Chain A
Amino acid sequence: MIFPLRSEPAVEATGLVKKFHAVKAVDGVDLVVPRGGIYSVLGPNGAGKTTVIRILATLATPDGGQARVLGRDVVSEAAKVRERIGLTGQFATVDEELTGTENLIMLARLQGFSRAASVRRASDLLGAVSLDAAADRLVKKYSGGMRRRLDIAASIIVTPDLLFLDEPTTGLDPRSRAQVWETVRGLVEVGTTILLTTQYLDEADQLADRIAVMEHGKVIAEGTPGQLKSSVGVGTLRIRLREAAQRPEAIRVLAEDLQITAQEEADAVGLTARVPGSDADLAVSAVSRLAGRGISVTDFALGQPSLDEVFLALTGHTTDRNDQEEAA
C-alpha cells in the first residue's frame, strides 16, 4: 500500500502486543494512519480497541512491538507525543465534583493558558459543544451525552494534531451523536487527524476515510469503506413472498439466474440473501427477476450490512467476544 509522502503518518504501529496476565488484549497489531482525515478502528466488545488507543496515547506501554505517533516513539518520546495529541477515552475522565466551566478552566491552566485566557477558552469551548446552558452545573448532574461532549471539549483545549476518540457515540441518542459527528468533522477541517473507534459499521462508513477491523486483538481487515463493503456486499436483501409454496422456486431462481444464495427465514414466506457487490443493482434485478417468473413479492428491503455480517464475511463466523461475555 502506498501513501503520498506528505510527511510521516499520524500513527505507524508495528507488531503491537499487550498482555493482561493470560489474555493477549492486543496480539500483533500493525496500523498505519495517514495524516488528515478520519481513521476508524471497528470491532466488537473485547477486540482490543481501547488497549490500542491507550498504548498510542502513552497511557499504557506495549509488551511488544513499536509505535510512532506523529513521528515520535510512544515509549521513549512519550512527553513529546503528549504535547500534540488529545484523548477522549471510552469512559468520561472529567471531574464529576466540579462544574463544566471549572473542569475546562483547570485543564486550560494546566496547559499554559493565562487565567483570563483560560476563562475565555472554557466559555468558547462550552459554546462550541452546546453546553453553555449547563456551564455552571456540577458534572455529576450531567447526562451521559453532556459528559461525553464536555470530555471532547476537554480534549481539544489545545487543538491537537491527532485526536483519539474511543467509542465517542456509544450510548448516545441520535441528536447527541450528530453533535459529536459535527465536532469531529470540524476538527478535520482545521487539520486534526482523528483516530476513532466504534462498534457501528454505519458510523465508520459515514465518517471514516479508512477503516481497520479488529477482532481478538488482531487487525483482520483494512481499507476504505468502499473496499470493505464490497468485500462484504451491499447488505442483506429481505424478501417476503405471497405464497409460502413458491419459496423453494424463488431460492432456485435466485441461485441459478443471479448466483445469489438465499436462506429461508423462520417465517414461511420470508427469505434473506446476502447481496455481493458495492451497489444495489443486483438486489433490484433479484426482485424484478422473481416478479418476471411469476413469483409475487409482497415486500422487500435492502439493509446495510451489520457488523455481524461484516464479521461473517471476513472471518466466516459471527462476532464472538474476546471478553467471553457471550459465547458465539
Chain B
Amino acid sequence: MTVQLTSSAADTSGSSDLRDVLMRGTRPPRANAFTVTMTFGWRALLKIKHGPMQLFDVTVFPLMLTLMFTYLLGGAIAGSTTVYLQDLLPGILVMAILMITQYTGAALNSDRTKGVFDRFKTLAIWRPGSVIGAMLGDLVRYSIAGILVVLLGVALGFRPAGGVIGVALGLMVVLLFSFAISWMWTAAAFVMPTPHSTMAAGAIIIFPLTFLSNIFADPKTMPGWLQAFIDVNPVTYVVSATRNLMFDRPLGNDLLWVLVSSAVIVAIFGPLTMWLYKNKQ
C-alpha cells in the first residue's frame, strides 16, 4: 500500500506569491468619471444576473396595475375597457415605473447600512459615479418593465397611432423623469435608517403624485382645488407628453415642462444627495 502524503508546498509557496502580488500593486492613474460610473452600472447589471428575482418585483407589479385598473375602471369611466385602455396605458406606464424607482433608494440604503458604501467612501474616486451608475443599471430594469407593460397593453387592445417609434419616445420621456425623481430617493437613502423606511418615505411622495394626476380621469371632472394641484404636478405633464408621443399628437408645452421639472429636481436633490453622501456617517 502506498501512502500519499498531502503536500504542503501550496502553503509554503504562499508567502513569496503574496510578496510578488503586493509588489505589483502600484497605483495606476486615477479612473475618470465615465469609467467609475460605468463600473457601478456593471455592478448593478451583475446583481440582476445573479438574482433575476429582482426583476420579478419590478415587472409583476406594473403588469398587475395595468390589468387591475383597466378592468376596474374601464367600464365606469369610458364605457368600454378598450377605449379606456388607450388613455390609461401610457398613464399606468408612468405610474408603474415611478413606483418602482423607489427600489433605487432602497438598494442604496442597503449598501450604506450594510457597510458596502464604506469601502467606496475610502476610495479616491468620482463620488457621484456610485449613485449615477446604480441608476443606469436601474434604467435597464425600468425599460424591461416598460416594454412588458406595453406588450401586455397591446395584447389587451392598446393601439398607439405613433407606432413603435412613438411608443419608444414616450418610454424615453418616462425614463428621463424616473432618473430625475430617483435623486429624491437617493437623498432619502442617506437619511432613513433602513431600506424599508427609505421605500416608505418615497411612497408618501409618489402616491399623491401619481394618483392626483391625469392618469385615471380627466381633471375637468374634478373639483377646482384638485385641478389646481394636478396642474402643477409634473407627473401630469409626463403623462400628457407620453400619451401625445405614443398617439402621434401635437406635443404642446408638455415636453418642455417635463424637461424643466426634471432639471429642477436634479438641481436640488443631486447636490443634496452628494452633500449627504459626504457628511452623513
Which positions in A face B, CB cutoff 8 Å?
54, 57-61, 79, 82-83, 85-87, 89, 91-99, 102, 106-107, 109-114, 117, 121, 124-125, 127-128, 130, 138, 154, 156-159, 182-183, 185-187, 189-190, 192
- Write 25 A-B pairs (CB below 8 A) sorted by A numbering: A59-B118, A59-B122, A87-B118, A87-B122, A89-B115, A93-B115, A93-B117, A96-B114, A98-B43, A106-B39, A106-B43, A107-B123, A109-B42, A112-B30, A121-B24, A121-B25, A124-B21, A127-B17, A128-B18, A156-B25, A158-B27, A182-B18, A183-B18, A186-B19, A190-B22
With A124-B21, A159-B26 known as contacts, the answer to whether A93 contacts B31 (CB < 8 A) is no
Name B230-248 residues within 8 Å CB distance of A.
Answer: none
Task: Given A58-B121, A114-B28, A186-B18, output 5 extra A-B contacts at Cβ < 8 Å.
Answer: A54-B281, A128-B18, A159-B25, A182-B14, A186-B19
**Nearest CB of chain B from residue A141's CB, rounded to whole Å:** 11
Please report the C-alpha to C-alpha distance between residue A125 and residue B19 in the assembled complex, in whole angstroms.
11
Chain B neighbourhood of A102, CB < 8 A: 43, 46
Interface size of B in residues (CB-CB distance below 8 Å): 38
User: In the assembled complex, how far is the CB of residue B111 from the closest CB belonging to chain A, in whole angstroms?
Assistant: 8
Q: Looking at the complex, which one of B17, B29, B121, B281 makes contact with A112 (CB distance below 8 Å)?
A: B29
Indicate which residue in A59, A82, A94 contacts B124 across the interface (CB closer than 8 Å): A82
CA–CA, A328 to B42, complex, Å? Answer: 50
| Chain B nearest Cβ from A39, distance in angstroms | 19
Partner of A128 from the list B17, B30, B46 (CB cut-off 8 Å) is B17
A residues within 8 A CB of B155?
none
Asked whether B118 lies within 8 Å of A130 as measured between CB atoms, the reply is no
Given A106-B43, A111-B28, A112-B30, residue A128 in contact with residue B119 (CB < 8 A): no
Q: A87-B118, A106-B43, A156-B25 are in contact. Are A111 and B125 (CB under 8 A)?
A: yes
B50 in contact (CB, < 8 A): yes
B51: CB under 8 A from chain A? yes
Does B164 interact with chain A (Cβ within 8 Å)? no
CB-nearest residue of chain B to A117:
B28
Which chain A residues border B123 with CB–CB below 8 Å? 82, 107, 110-111
